[in-house]
C-alpha cells in the first residue's frame, strides 16, 4: 500500500475476478499484512457461504482466516466500528447496500478490502461489485486459467443446469473459462 496515504484516511480496495483466480488468497494476504502491522482487523463473510467453514474465510487452496458470518451488509457496519481494516469476502452474496456500508466505513477513516466475483455464471456484471468498482480507490482484477485451453480466464462456467443466479458451490459446480471457451446456454 502507498506510504503517502495518511493513517486516518480511509479507502476502498476491490479484488475481483472469476472463481479460482485467487481473490480470497489476495484478501487473506492483505489482511495478514494489516495484522502484522498491528492494525485492528475485522473480517466478514456472508452467512450463506458455508462451503468450507462457517467461521473462516477460506481460499480454494485452503488458506484461511477467522471471520464473522453476517446475514446482511448492515451487520458489517455495526460490528466493524472499532476496527481500522475491514475485510469482506464473497461480496457478490451481499445486498446492494454493501456499497453504502463500504462508503461509510471508508468515510470514517477505515481501510475496506472487498473480494468477490465481478461476473455471474452468464458473464453478466454481478452486483454489488460493479458499483464498488466505481467508488473504489484501488482495484485488482485477478484471472484464473481456463480449464479448456489454458488461456487467462476471466469467466466462471457453471457446470450444473441450475438457473438461479446465486448457487453456492466450488469445483463440483464451477470451473474457470476464458472468454472464448465460456458457454452461455439459451435457457440461462
Q: How many Cβ atoms from other residues are within 10 Å of residue 92's Cβ?
A: 20
- Concerning whether 90 is annotated as a catalytic residue, the answer is yes
> What's the first-to-final CA gap in the chain, in angstroms?
40
Q: How many Cβ atoms from other residues are within 10 Å of residue 6's Cβ?
A: 7
> 13, 26, 90, 175: which is the annotated catalytic residue?
90
Taking the CA atoms of residue 176, residue 19, residue 27 and residue 72 in that order, the dihedral angle to the nearest 10 degrees is 170
The whole-angstrom separation of Cα 97 and Cα 115 is: 16
Catalytic residues: 90
Amino acid at each position: 500500500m502507498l506510504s503517502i496515504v495518511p493513517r486516518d484516511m480511509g479507502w476502498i480496495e476491490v479484488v475481483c475476478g472469476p472463481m479460482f483466480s485467487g481473490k480470497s488468497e489476495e484478501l487473506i494476504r492483505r489482511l495478514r499484512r494489516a495484522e502484522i502491522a498491528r492494525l485492528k482487523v475485522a473480517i466478514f463473510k456472508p452467512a450463506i457461504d458455508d462451503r468450507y467453514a462457517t467461521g473462516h474465510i477460506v481460499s480454494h487452496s485452503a488458506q484461511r482466516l477467522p471471520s464473522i458470518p453476517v446475514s446482511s451488509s448492515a451487520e458489517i457496519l455495526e460490528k466493524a466500528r472499532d476496527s481500522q481494516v475491514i475485510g469482506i469476502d464473497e461480496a457478490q452474496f451481499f445486498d446492494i447496500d454493501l456499497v453504502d456500508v463500504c462508503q461509510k466505513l471508508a468515510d470514517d477513516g477505515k481501510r475496506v478490502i472487498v473480494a468477490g466475483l465481478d461476473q455471474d455464471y452468464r458473464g453478466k456484471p454481478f452486483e454489488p461489485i460493479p458499483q464498488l468498482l466505481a467508488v473504489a480507490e484501488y482495484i485488482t482484477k485477478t484471472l484464473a486459467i481456463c480449464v479448456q485451453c489454458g488461456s487467462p480466464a476471466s469467466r466462471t462456467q457453471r457446470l450444473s443446469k441450475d438457473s438461479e443466479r446465486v448457487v453456492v458451490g466450488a469445483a463440483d459446480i464451477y470451473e474457470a473459462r476464458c472468454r472464448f471457451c465460456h458457454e452461455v446456454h439459451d435457457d440461462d
